[in-house]
Structure formats: structure tokens, C-alpha cells
Structure 1
Amino acid sequence: MTAHVIADPATTPAAPPATTGWAALSAALTEEAPPIADRDDLVVTIAPGAAHGHPAVFMPHRAAIELDGTHLRIDPATARPDRNSDRARYPALFGAFVHECAHARHSAWEPPALANPAVVEAAMLLEESRIEAAQIRRRPADRHWLRASATEIVIGDTGGPAAMAAVPATEYAAAHSAALILGRVDGGILTETETAPAATTIKAILGATKLADLQAIWQHAHTLADDDTAGMLELGQRWLDLVGPDPHAEPDPASILAAAIDATITKITKAVADEPAPLDPAEIAAAAAAAELMAELEAEAAASKVFGARGSTPISRAPRAPRADERAAARVLARALSTASRRERAVVKTGSVIPPGRVRMRGAMAREAQRAAGAIPTAEMFTRTTRKTVPVPPLRVGIACDISGSMTSYAKPVASAAWIIAHAAQLATMPADTATLTFGNDVHSVTRPGTAPAKVTEFKSSDNYEAIDVAIDALDGALGLSRRENTRLLVIISDGVFSAEPRRRAQQRLDRLRASGCAVLWLAPNTRGVRPLTGAIVHRITDPATTAQAIARAATAAVRTA
């Protein structure tokens, strides 16, 4: 058997650690073993000198995993292996623990007592990459930890640091190293780039043909079932036929194979060090909740600043009375929203033992049969059909208009559209709320949530900056555009030519709204150089007079699909 699996039932597990810190860490690792190994009977012991002279071992007949605590290199009392962020302080040792859990889960085959020891040794060499490949198919996130422990496992399975530094360049040693290193490439643990130094030298020693034959063997091993004893022993025999027994060659301090393995281990170590540890689901959820709370607070603050105070809006003239066509458009949109909000009543059928309802012959016969048998009749012989009204989520529409100089020709129609939408929301039978603002050097309100302005506020369009990120925050905070209980539509009227930083922040906010289910409509001028944010539904406005109609269609579609 390989050094990682001690199959002798007579082997005595290490005594429980006497030191409080090691005992607590052993208990903590025992708690972590069930999800990793997919079994709940394992007992894990970690202490200095444990693991019978190896970094880590699994004893199948004792359902025990042991780890040599000298490889921890931190105070065991401070270790919290239930957190990925803490595991990153001792990644190689935790990876060795995952490796032994992989043996516990996937090394289910057991060679017969009379099997050729050399064949068993070859089969268990193939087992190393097979169980890791099986582990990451089941738990992909474990790859990081297996990568972190790969170098120490390779060193350990080569005989330790001194033996590895002088491993002779024989075909046997090259094949052994190929199984441990290149087998993990095909298993999905390591990469070809990391293992290139070893691969080149191993190929030079073995030759391309023999290396390809050996690769076919370990690739075949990766496809075998965990309990396929015959299959693994057959592959072990094929390996032995190709490689032969261990020649026990003398160590060679100047070995090209040793140098190549050392270079490979250096590359793997650097790659793993540069690779971030995977986040715990709990940590991801906590970070997401914190980010969402921060976004909500920023949105509320922006809404309070823009809509809370009766600040001035940059107008070009005094607010004017709405025209007759604008009033008519508001009424038409209100009717469209009301129509779109109507739902067919849901039909619900229920059974009953008493009228009213339609008689079900099957239920009636079952009821008579129960009576004839002397049982209490429980069969439901009547069915009722009821219809219930399905509520429509409230509609929230936020409109943000760019008032930079390039949007001058759209200022008046957008002001008109803002009034039409706000007035239609008040007239519609469905609950609806709208708000409109302008964004340029600053953000200003045009129509406020919950109000239907009596007059149309027209604004100038001459700024040279676009605070689009603040505008999205203000509309979100005022209307709850990120809350899933509402039907929501964000309308942005702009050419999208923004500075880099507000554009980046705006894209983050738009992505958040879309992830929550908010529809985003981008009304863009029919000119060159338009750069809408990613993810918005873009509509080109060929005629400024169509602005209100485009918003109305989008709002109606949002209601119908809510």
C-alpha cells in the first residue's frame, strides 16, 4: 500500500493528543471530515509525531485519519478549520487532510491477501491521482487544497526531501514521478504549464512511446469505479509489465530528474501561493449581505439628498401647463397600465364530503364501499371550483435624463414624458409610482415619488459631466427599484458618453438592479458614439417625440410580465 493508506488492521492509531490545543483541533477536523469524505464515521487525530512517520495517513479498518502536527506551523489553539480564510494559513496540511478524506471516500477497493505486492504497489501509485480526480468531480472547490498539498505529497511519496533531491534518473523513478505529477494533470489538479519541467525530463528518460502507454494506464484508472479491485490490479500489472520492479538504484545528487522535479515543485508552489483561497458559502453570503446593505444605505442617502429637500431644478423657463396632447397621452397610458394589470382569476379545485359542488362518481362509489365495509366514510364525493384574484405587484418607474450638452434636443420631450408618466401613474387603477430626475454635474429631481405635478418642468441641457451613478442610487432609494416585491422599470435617457469612474460605478449599480429583476430601458439618440451600459435594453429614438411612447411601451410590458 502507498504511504497514505495503512491497510493492516493490526496498526494501532495514535493516542488522543494530551495537549488541549491539539485535542481541540483534532475534534474540529473530525467535524469537518463528513462533508469532505461523504461519511460520518471518521476520527481525525492531529499531533506532532502522529501519522506513523508520514505527513498524513488513512487507516481504513480503523476509520481513522492521522496528520503529523509538525507540518501545521501555527499554534493549534488558533486554528479554525471550519473557515476557508483560516485554512489558508496552513493550506498544504489541510490539503493533505482533504487527500486522506478522498482516500476514505474513494479508496473502496481492497487487494486480496495473496496479491503480488509489486502489483498492489503499482495500483496504489495509480490510486493517488484517481482519488483526487474523483474528489474534485464531487467537490470542485477542494482542488485548491489538493493543489496546495501536491508538492508535499510528491516529496513524501518520493521518499522525503533528501531522497527527492537525489532521485536517480532511471525509468522506474521517471515512471513513478510521472504517475504522481503528470497523473494529477490529467486528473485536473495540476496544469501542464506548472509541470512542464518534469514532463520534459520524464519524456526524455522514458521516451514518447512508453510515456504515452503509461499515461493511457493512469487515464484508464481515472474512469474506474471506487470498488473495482480487479480493474485496479489489472492496471497495476500492466504498469509493472512496462516499468518493471524497483531497481533500487543509488541516489544521484546530480540527477536531471531530481532537478526537473524540484523546478516543477517550485512552479507549483508559486502558482498556489498566487491563487486566492476559495470563499466559504457563509463568507460569500455575509459579504453579499454587507454589500447589499451598503448599496441600500447609499441609495437611501442619494434619494434623501435628491428628493428629500425641495431643491431647485435647472429649468430653462417657468414651469408650464400641460398641453392637451400630453393630458390625452397620460390618460391613454393610464388605461394601458390598468388593462395590463388585469389578471385572469386563478382557478382552484378542492374536494369535499358535503355539498355544494359537483358529484364525483368515483368518490361516491368509494364512499358507499366504505359504508358497506363498516368504515367511517371519508371519500370526497363533491368537487368545488373557486376563482381567486391574483394581485399585481405595484409598478415603480424611475426615469434618469442626461442633461449634458449632447442631449439638448431631447430635454423638452423628456420633460414632457416625465409629466405624462407621473400623471398616468396617478390615474391608473393599479398601484403605481414614478420619479424623474436629471443628471449632469449634479442630480436634480423633476417629478417626485407619489406626486403628480400640475405643471411640466422643462430643463436646460448644457452640463459637461454625468453623475449617472448617483442618479441610479437616488431612483433606487426613492422607488425601491432593487426590491423584488415591486414591478420595476429604470429608464435612462442618454448617449452613454461618461467619464470612466462614474461609468464603472453605474455599471455596478445597473448589474445589481438587473440581478434583482428590475427591467432597464436605455433610450439613446440616433447618433454615432452612443455607449449604453451593458445589460440594458437599448431603444434608438429617431424622433424625439417618441420618447413618451417608448417609455410607455416598456412600462406596460414590465407590468404584463410581472
Structure 2
Amino acid sequence: MTGHVITAPAPAATTTPPPPATPTSPPATAAPATPAPAAATAAPATAATPASASVPVTGGWATFSAAMTAEVPPIADRDDLTVTIAPGAGFGSPAAFVPSWGAIEIDGTRLKIDPATARPERTSDRNRYPAVWGALVHECAHAQHSVWTAPPVAHPGVLEAATLLEESRIEAAQIRRRPDDRHWLRACTTEIVIGDNGGASAAAQIPPVPYHAARNAALILARLDGGILEAAECAPAATEIEAILGIDTLEKLRAIWREAHTVADTDAAAMLDLGARWLDLVGPDPHADPEPSSPLGAAIDATVTNVGKAVAAAPVAPDPAEVAEAARQAAEQQAKDAAAQAQRVFGSGARRAWTASRRRTREARPGEHTAARVLARALNTAATRERATVKTTSALPPGRLRMRGALAREAQRAAGAMPTAEPFTRVTRKTVPLPPLRVGIACDVSSSMGDYAAPVASAAWIIARAAELATMPATTATVTFGASVKPITYPGTAPARVTEFSCPDGYHALDIAVEALNGGLDLAYPGATRLLVIISDGHYTGSERRRAQQHLDKLRAAGCAVLWLAPADSGPNPLNGANVHLITHPATTAAAIGRAATAAVRGT
């Protein structure tokens, strides 16, 4: 039957499967146990030490089995179970529970991923193998709820019917305990229904007779009433089953399984009584011949397909802790990548290459010195804050005496109580610490930006010099990006000379430039006022734009402001999310950057 509960005392024991669902093959989900109690086998209060698995378990399968074993206790509400998943496990069923071993076995051939990559402790990972995880949950439901015991003299047909009813009963009980398990039980319904009909080939040819219609009513429609499946997805099977059984018979069967859903886990008499009523209505297996293109088989297939699509369309969301851990790991990896990129651009090797390069340097002009001092004063002014006022009270001077407090203190003393009133008040003013400023500048050196090479070189020196002169802590760095990324000014360094450059390139490695500036200035981390300035017309290829946009989005999400300076006459196409400022003349570049930095400081 469909109980998935094995009574075999050890893997080597020879067992006889119960009567098959069709004459073509035994049910794939049937418990290959003796006709004595199958699903009706009581689960021991304390299971013996589990015997070895029925098949060899090595490598990734052993690791996966151990990981699933660790997840079972809260699902089954038992801590004495062992899980084995490997190809061929499960005694010919997709999954099986062996009470005498306290063991669950799952056939690994249904796992469509490499078991070594499975991480079942993560909710999101279970979405990669929902039917397999659902089979585990189903067997855990058996382990917790299939505890009633039938007497040895029970009629095999009655016991078979009771075992069939047990399938939806234990799932209904499971979701009453753990509602979130419903998703996984839905996912494994596809395996159970097809398996209990002998596999996909046999299910397609299942004889459309009352016996098989009733069995599938218990497998599908009983799960609908048990709260596992939805009416819309069960409609094909419901229509065909009703056509075969008739409305009256189907309603009588529905009353039986609905009553089964209310039976206690230990009430064997009630389950056997329901099994007898079922057998009286349905009768024994007629062993009818398979029917190609069976309408019942087509309806079952349509229902199973509907359930599978519904489960795939609504994966379970990951746990908040898992999301937080994934975000933490992503942030750590991003920081490592940014630091490595900064080392390549600003590290000692880059400095030696810079020294050997042909880029010209010159003395700063008087106007550039003046601009640096003006910007430094502007930053200082923007950073000026009123001191915060803090009011405190005390029992002793100094401070202003409040008569109400003094009288309250005397009254407390007169009453013999410990004086707690504080009659003196004092006002102090404290300077609010200002977060430091970090400014990263990335300049496009493709050929279309030639008019801006000299102004940007000048602006880079002015910004770095102003950061050194300002009283507030400030750090800047400037790079150029084209086919490669090269430094103009280094983080925390005010160059003595202005470095000039040309614009010969045809590529745009903006993603590398942003990552290097992030690594060198910690633009993605709080604790400072952060500003990224990009000077470019934005004429990039699709892949260049996509990579740069990803890095820009991460910085903006981390709280870094982004200013995009673009030539007004270039038909600019900046990236999304940046604060765009059009420059009408190259000479205004330094002033625009200075205003943006000052505004960023003032806005903190």
C-alpha cells in the first residue's frame, strides 16, 4: 500500500509486497512489507540503534544523508531517527520509514542534483529538490503519527484500505503541527500519486474502473480535504473520478476519509472500521487489464502536472537568518574584491609603474593653489556645527539650584527616606564629531573626452590639496579609466605636482575604476561622508554599461552619493541612479566637484 512503513527487521530480510495497484507492476510507493501491519505498525517510543542502510551509502550521499538526519528532529518531533538517501534506497519506494530501526530511507535516483552540493539546512536550497524533501517530510509524518497497531487477524483487504486512508490522515496531522510543511508535502504528491499507480507508464494506462478511481480519490481528493492540495489543480482528477464512481459513491468515500482525518494516532479500531467501510463500498482489486490512453490516467497526469507547476511557481522564501548570512558573505567578498582591485591600482607595483610611465607632471599654477585654499575654507565652513546642549541634574554643585528639587530633598530627609532628588541643574555644550569626507573621482579617457583631460587633472590636484588643507578629516583619490585604470592621485596623499594625461582610449573600464576607488577609500562603508564623482559622456557598450551599473548600484545602496559630470554638448548617456550635472565648459569641472563635495558635507 501507500504507507511507506516497512516492518522488515533488517535490510537482509526477505519481504513480500502487498497486492499491487495494477497487474502490470507493484506500486512504486508501496511499502514492501508482509500483509501483517504495514502503515499500521507502531513506532516505538525509543528506537533501537538503526541497522545499516539497505544499500551502500558513500561519498556525497553519505554527507547528504548526515545533513538530512540533522534536520529531521523538529520535523518528526523525534530525535531518534536516521536518514539514508542513496540510489536504490527505500525498498523500491521513493521513500520508506522503518520503525524497528528508527530509520527513513529515500531513493536517491529522484535527486536531480549532485548530492555533494546539497545544503538542506538552508531553506532556499530545498527548493532545488522539493519532491525529495517532501518525501522526507512525509516519512517524518509517518514516524510521528503512524503509531496505531492492527491485530494479526485483521483482514488484509481492510488493512489495505486503512493504510490507504492513513496517507492523507498523517499529512493532515503533520500540517496541523507544522503548517509550513504543506509546501513540501504538496511537492511530493506528484511522486506519491504516480508511484502508487505503478509509475508513469502504468499510470497512463490505469483501468478506469471504480477500484482505481477510489484509490486515486484517496490519493488526490483526500489530500484536497486534508488541506494539502487546491481544488483548481485537482479538477481534472475530480471530474474523471466522479464520472467513474458516481456522485453518491464519491460522497460516501469522502465522508470516510474526512472522518479518518479526525482519528487519533493510536486509534486502531477506528481506522480498521473505516477500512472495512471502504472495502464494502469499493470491493477488492478486480485486476483489470491496462487500458491505453486511459481517461483516468490522463486526468491523473493533468492533476500531477498542475501540482508540480504550482509548487515550482511558489518556492519557499529563505529564512531571514539565511538572507542575512548570505548578505554578510556577499559583503565580505565584495570588500575583498575591492581591496584587491585597489591594491592593483594604487599598490606599490602600480606606483613603480607610474614612476616609469610617460605621463607628464608640472608645478601647480597660482590659480590652482588659490582654488585649493578656497575649497578647503568652503569645506571647513560646511563642516561647522553648533555645539549640542546637554542638560544634567545632580545632588551637589556646581549648577543652578532649583528650589523645588531642594524642598523635595529636605522632605525626603524629614520622612527618613534616602534622598534621591537632585536640586542642581547644569547645562554643558559639546562639540558634535563630524564624520570624515571621502571623495573618489573617476575620469573617462576615451577619445571623446579629450577636451576634459587638462581640467580633470587640475581638479584632481585641487581636491587632493584642499583635503590636506581642510581642518576636517578628508581623503580623496582620482583615477582615469579607459582600456585600463590608472591612478592620478592616491588615497590620503596630496601630490606636490599636477599630473597631466591624454585621452587616447576606446574602451571604458568604469567597473574596475569604481571598484578600485571603493577599495581605496571604503566608499561602501558607513562612518564617513562618501562621494563618487564620475566624469564621462557615458557612451559605453552594452557589457561595459551593465558591469559598471552593477557596481554603481551597490555603492548607492550602501549610502554613497554619486555625482555624474557630463559634457553638455556630447549627448550624454549617464548610468541610472547618479545625480547628473551637465558641464558647459571644461574649466568649470573643478568648481562643480568642489560644490558637490561641499554640499555632501553640509548635508551630513
For the aligned pair, the TM-score class normalised by the smaller chain equals: 0.5 to 0.7
Q: Distance in 2 between matches of 1:202 and 1:54?
A: 25
Match of 1:332 in 2: 374
Q: Distance in 1 between matches of 2:378 and 2:419?
A: 53
Match of residue 596, structure 2, among 533, 547, 554 = 554
Deviation of the 1:551 alpha carbon = 1.6
Evaluate the alpha carbon distance shift between residue 267 and residue 40 of structure 1 in structure 2; reply closer, same or farther with a 3 A threshold.
Answer: closer
Evaluate the alpha carbon distance shift between residue 89 and residue 446 of structure 1 in structure 2; reply closer, same or farther with a 3 A threshold.
Answer: closer
Match of 1:507 in 2: 549
Match of residue 188, structure 2, among 145, 149, 154 = 149
Deviation of the 1:321 alpha carbon = 3.9
Which amino acid in the other structure matches residue 494 of structure 1? S
Evaluate the alpha carbon distance shift between residue 466 and residue 290 of structure 1 in structure 2; reply closer, same or farther with a 3 A threshold.
Answer: closer
Deviation of the 1:430 alpha carbon = 0.6
Equivalent residue runs for 1:345-424 within 5 Å: 345-358=387-400, 367=409, 370-372=412-414, 374-424=416-466
Match of residue 481, structure 2, among 417, 420, 439 = 439
Matched, 1:94 2:133: yes
Q: Distance in 2 between matches of 1:468 and 1:24?
A: 43
- Give CA deviations for 1:451-500 in whole Å, capped at 9, x if unaligned: 43455444322322223233223323333333433322111111122344
Evaluate the alpha carbon distance shift between residue 301 and residue 453 of structure 1 in structure 2; reply closer, same or farther with a 3 A threshold.
Answer: closer
SS class of match (1:482): coil
Match of 2:104 in 1: 68
Q: Does structure 1 retain, via aligned residues, the 8 Å contact 2:97–2:104?
A: no
Match of 1:448 in 2: 490
Matched, 1:311 2:355: yes
Match of 2:50 in 1: 17
Q: Distance in 2 between matches of 1:267 and 1:202?
A: 13
Q: Does structure 2 retain, via aligned residues, the 8 Å contact 1:27–1:44?
A: no
Aligned residues: 507
Question: What TM-score do the two structures reach when normalised by structure 2?
Answer: 0.63
Return 346-355 or 246-255, whichever deviates more: 246-255
Percent of aligned positions that are identical: 51
Q: Does structure 2 retain, via aligned residues, the 8 Å contact 1:47–1:69?
A: yes
- Give CA deviations for 1:496-553 in whole Å, capped at 9, x if unaligned: 2234444444333333333332222111222465332333222222333332232223
Q: Distance in 1 between matches of 2:84 and 2:484?
A: 63
Q: Does structure 1 retain, via aligned residues, the 8 Å contact 2:94–2:191?
A: no
- Give CA deviations for 1:184-241 in whole Å, capped at 9, x if unaligned: 99979x9x9xx6xx7556556659xx99xx9xxx9xxxxxxx99x9xxxxxxxxxxxx
Match of residue 561, structure 2, among 512, 516, 519 = 519
For the pair shown, which has the larger CA radius of gyration, 1 or 2? 2
SS class of match (2:471): coil
Q: Does structure 2 retain, via aligned residues, the 8 Å contact 1:302–1:477?
A: no
Matched, 1:476 2:518: yes
Q: Does structure 2 retain, via aligned residues, the 8 Å contact 1:435–1:448?
A: yes
Q: Distance in 1 between matches of 2:366 and 2:479?
A: 21
Which amino acid in the other structure matches residue 443 of structure 1? V
Match of 1:294 in 2: 337
Any stretches of 5+ residues in structure 2 without a counterpart?
Answer: 6-37, 146-160, 255-260, 265-279
CA RMSD of the aligned region, Å? 5.9
Which amino acid in the other structure matches residue 515 of structure 1? A
Evaluate the alpha carbon distance shift between residue 462 and residue 379 of structure 1 in structure 2; reply closer, same or farther with a 3 A threshold.
Answer: same
Match of 2:529 in 1: 487
Equivalent residue runs for 1:180-191 within 5 Å: none
Which amino acid in the other structure matches residue 257 of structure 1? L
Matched, 1:32 2:71: yes
Matched, 1:253 2:290: yes
Deviation of the 1:397 alpha carbon = 1.1
Match of 1:429 in 2: 471
Any stretches of 5+ residues in structure 1 without a counterpart?
Answer: 60-64, 108-117, 219-225, 230-244
Deviation of the 1:18 alpha carbon = 4.2
Deviation of the 1:375 alpha carbon = 4.3
Which amino acid in the other structure matches residue 485 of structure 1? G
Q: Does structure 1 retain, via aligned residues, the 8 Å contact 2:364–2:497?
A: yes
Return 380-389 or 360-369, whichever deviates more: 360-369
Evaluate the alpha carbon distance shift between residue 246 and residue 373 of structure 1 in structure 2; reply closer, same or farther with a 3 A threshold.
Answer: farther
Q: Does structure 2 retain, via aligned residues, the 8 Å contact 1:129–1:179?
A: no
Q: Does structure 1 retain, via aligned residues, the 8 Å contact 2:538–2:575?
A: yes
Match of 2:151 in 1: none
- Give CA deviations for 1:269-300 in whole Å, capped at 9, x if unaligned: 79989999988555664455344323322222
Match of 1:465 in 2: 507
Q: Distance in 2 between matches of 1:153 and 1:199?
A: 18
Deviation of the 1:393 alpha carbon = 2.1
SS class of match (1:492): strand
Q: Distance in 2 between matches of 1:481 and 1:329?
A: 25
Evaluate the alpha carbon distance shift between residue 257 and residue 473 of structure 1 in structure 2; reply closer, same or farther with a 3 A threshold.
Answer: same
Which amino acid in the other structure matches residue 340 of structure 1? A
Match of 1:115 in 2: none
Q: Does structure 2 retain, via aligned residues, the 8 Å contact 1:16–1:45?
A: no
Deviation of the 1:319 alpha carbon = 2.8
SS class of match (2:382): helix
SS class of match (2:441): strand
SS class of match (1:319): strand
Evaluate the alpha carbon distance shift between residue 201 and residue 272 of structure 1 in structure 2; reply closer, same or farther with a 3 A threshold.
Answer: closer
Question: What TM-score do the two structures reach when normalised by structure 1?
Answer: 0.67
Q: Does structure 1 retain, via aligned residues, the 8 Å contact 2:446–2:503?
A: yes
Q: Does structure 2 retain, via aligned residues, the 8 Å contact 1:182–1:199?
A: no
Q: Does structure 1 retain, via aligned residues, the 8 Å contact 2:240–2:299?
A: no
Matched, 1:322 2:358: no
Q: Does structure 1 retain, via aligned residues, the 8 Å contact 2:39–2:166?
A: no
Q: Distance in 1 between matches of 2:227 and 2:590?
A: 59
Which amino acid in the other structure matches residue 296 of structure 1? A
Q: Does structure 2 retain, via aligned residues, the 8 Å contact 1:299–1:474?
A: yes
